[in-house]
């Protein structure tokens, strides 16, 4: 019989299309957004500038940035209908389910939904970019019995996001660390949630359907849900003195149970995730800012022990989770923060996929029962 065709499980290592949006290079452990190293963008740009770059392919000049900023401010806030739907959802609902539902509601109500011109899709993408902070911030507040906080036009994207979440003017150091996390989370080529968005866009479905599907993919702990899961591990290790010893004991027990250690490993980066040093610097600035050295002690001990025992390095979710915890975000809010950032990458890829106009439909190799026939009655 013919030789069994080779199966590429999980599409591991399989290039399935071109993209001009970002370049992930495991050999050089580097990541470029439209040709710019992500470390330079994190050090010198705001998330608004990086979002513009990912969508348009060029950094904005002053006039373009001012126009984009004005648009973003105009579309912040929560319309009555979306707020009403969020209020209908149980407080026990996972924040990722709330965000996914809110995006669906916005899509169901937008007359532009069926219009798939580049201009219409860019408009939808920018409106989602502007609205997600209100949705994520309100969802966290409603769980604490707190009212929605209206956006402030005098604050940039990240400062306003923190303002709407905590109801107080954020400190510059916190705004900067948050902005770095948004830049680092924004785009990463064909990761599972982005590829999901592309599959949906490849059928000529609409941008909101693609983002809704991508949110579903990102929720899983093997992907975006890992940043929340890192914090669950830190909580199991426990606070206070002696964290390093507890971290090692926790790890040995977890590995003995064959558990996946969240925040470690990566399908593409096998020598460490290019974004980790930049995010770790931001985390360490927050450890200083909030005077929580014991958190860094656990972080370092767990990373070192994971290196010694499994030779597996952290991915971006490992420093990102504790950083969001220090800032005061609830642990289940961490992955929605990832959504607020990655919506830029997802929508850039949706527009690129629509331009390439190629339905994504791989093959499968049948290994079920042989052909048979319904017995005559």
The Cα–Cα gap between 367 and 344 comes to 39
Task: Measure CA 158 to chain center.
Answer: 15
In sequence order, what are the residues at sequence separation of 6 or more whose Cβ sits closer than 8 angstroms to the Cβ of residue 181? 279, 282, 320, 323, 324, 337, 341
CB closer to ligand SDX, 316 vs 344: 316
**DSSP code string of 42-55:** HHH--HHHHHHHHH
Contacts of 315 (CB under 8 A, 6+ apart): 226, 263, 264, 265, 266, 269, 273, 276
- Least spacing, CB of residue 164 vs ligand SDX, in Å: 25
Query: Could you tell me if 186 and 48 are in contact, meaning their C-beta atoms sit under 8 angstroms apart?
Result: no
CB under 8 Å, gap of 24 or more: what pairs does 363-371 form? 365/4, 365/5, 365/7
- 86 or 229: CB nearest ligand SDX: 229
* Strand ranges (E), 265-358: none
- 125 in helix, strand or coil? helix
Minimal distance, residue 374 CB to ligand SDX, in Å: 41
Rg (alpha carbons) of the chain, rounded to whole number? 22
Residue 220 CB, nearest approach to ligand SDX (Å): 8
Q: Smallest distance from the beta carbon of 226 to ligand SDX, in angstroms?
A: 3
Closest distance between ligand SDX and the C-beta of residue 196, in Å?
A: 11
Residue 317 or 330: the one with the smaller Cβ distance to ligand SDX is: 317
Cβ distance to ligand SDX smaller for residue 226 or 283: 226
306: left (phi over 0), alpha (psi -120 to 50) or beta: alpha
Provide the 8-state DSSP code for 314.
B
Minimum gap (Å) between residue 287 Cβ and ligand SDX: 21
d(CA 175, CA 181): 10
Question: Which of residues 38 and 327 has its CB atom nearest to ligand SDX in the complex?
Answer: 38
Rounded-to-integer distance, Cα 288 and Cα 349, Å: 37
Complete edge-to-edge strand list for the sheet that includes strand 36-37: 22-25, 30-33, 36-37
HSE at residue 123, side-chain half, CA atoms within 13 A, is 12
Distance CA 234, CA 196 (A): 30
Report the catalytic residues: 266, 317
Residue number, nearest CB to ligand SDX: 265
Question: Least distance in Å: CB of 364 to ligand SDX?
Answer: 19
**Which positions lie near ligand SDX, rule CB under 6 A?**
188, 191, 222-224, 226, 260-268, 310, 312, 315-317
Q: Which is nearer to ligand SDX, 159 or 199 (CB)?
A: 199
Residue nearer to ligand SDX on the CB measure, 78 or 247: 247
């Amino acid at each position: 019989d013919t030789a069994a065709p080779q199966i590429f499980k999980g599409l591991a290592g399989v290039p399935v299309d071109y993209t001009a949006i970002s370049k992930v290079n495991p050999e050089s452990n580097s990541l470029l957004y439209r040709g710019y190293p992500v470390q330079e963008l994190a050090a010198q740009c705001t998330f608004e500038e990086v979002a513009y770059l990912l969508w348009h392919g060029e950094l904005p000049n002053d006039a373009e940035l001012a126009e984009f900023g004005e648009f973003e401010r105009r579309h912040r806030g929560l319309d009555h209908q979306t707020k009403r739907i969020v209020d209908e959802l149980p407080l026990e609902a996972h924040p990722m389910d709330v965000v996914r539902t809110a995006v669906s509601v916005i899509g169901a109500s937008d007359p532009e939904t069926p219009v798939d011109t580049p201009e219409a899709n860019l408009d939808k993408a920018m409106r989602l970019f502007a609205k997600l902070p209100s949705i994520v911030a309100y969802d966290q507040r409603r769980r604490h019995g707190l009212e929605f906080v209206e956006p402030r036009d005098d604050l940039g994207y990240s400062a306003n996001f923190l303002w709407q979440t905590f109801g107080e003017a954020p400190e510059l150091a916190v705004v900067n660390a948050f902005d770095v996390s948004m830049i680092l989370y924004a785009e990463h080529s064909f990761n599972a949630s982005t590829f999901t968005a592309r599959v949906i866009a490849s059928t000529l479905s609409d941008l909101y359907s693609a983002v809704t599907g991508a949110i579903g993919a990102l929720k899983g702990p093997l992907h975006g849900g890992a940043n929340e899961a890192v914090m669950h591990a830190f909580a199991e290790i426990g606070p206070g003195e002696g964290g390093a010893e507890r971290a090692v004991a926790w790890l040995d027990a977890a590995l003995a149970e064959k558990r996946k250690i969240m925040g470690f490993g990566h399908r593409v980066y096998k020598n460490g995730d290019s974004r980790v040093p930049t995010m770790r610097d931001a985390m360490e600035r927050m450890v200083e800012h909030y005077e929580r050295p014991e958190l860094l002690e656990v972080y370092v001990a767990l990373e070192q022990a994971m290196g010694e025992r499994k030779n597996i390095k952290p991915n971006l979710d490992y420093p990102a989770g504790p950083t969001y915890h220090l800032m005061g975000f609830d642990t289940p809010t961490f992955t929605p923060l990832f959504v607020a950032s990655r919506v830029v990458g997802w929508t850039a890829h949706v527009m690129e996929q629509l331009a390439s106009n190629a339905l994504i439909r791989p093959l499968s190799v049948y290994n079920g029962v042989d052909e048979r026939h319904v017995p005559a009655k």
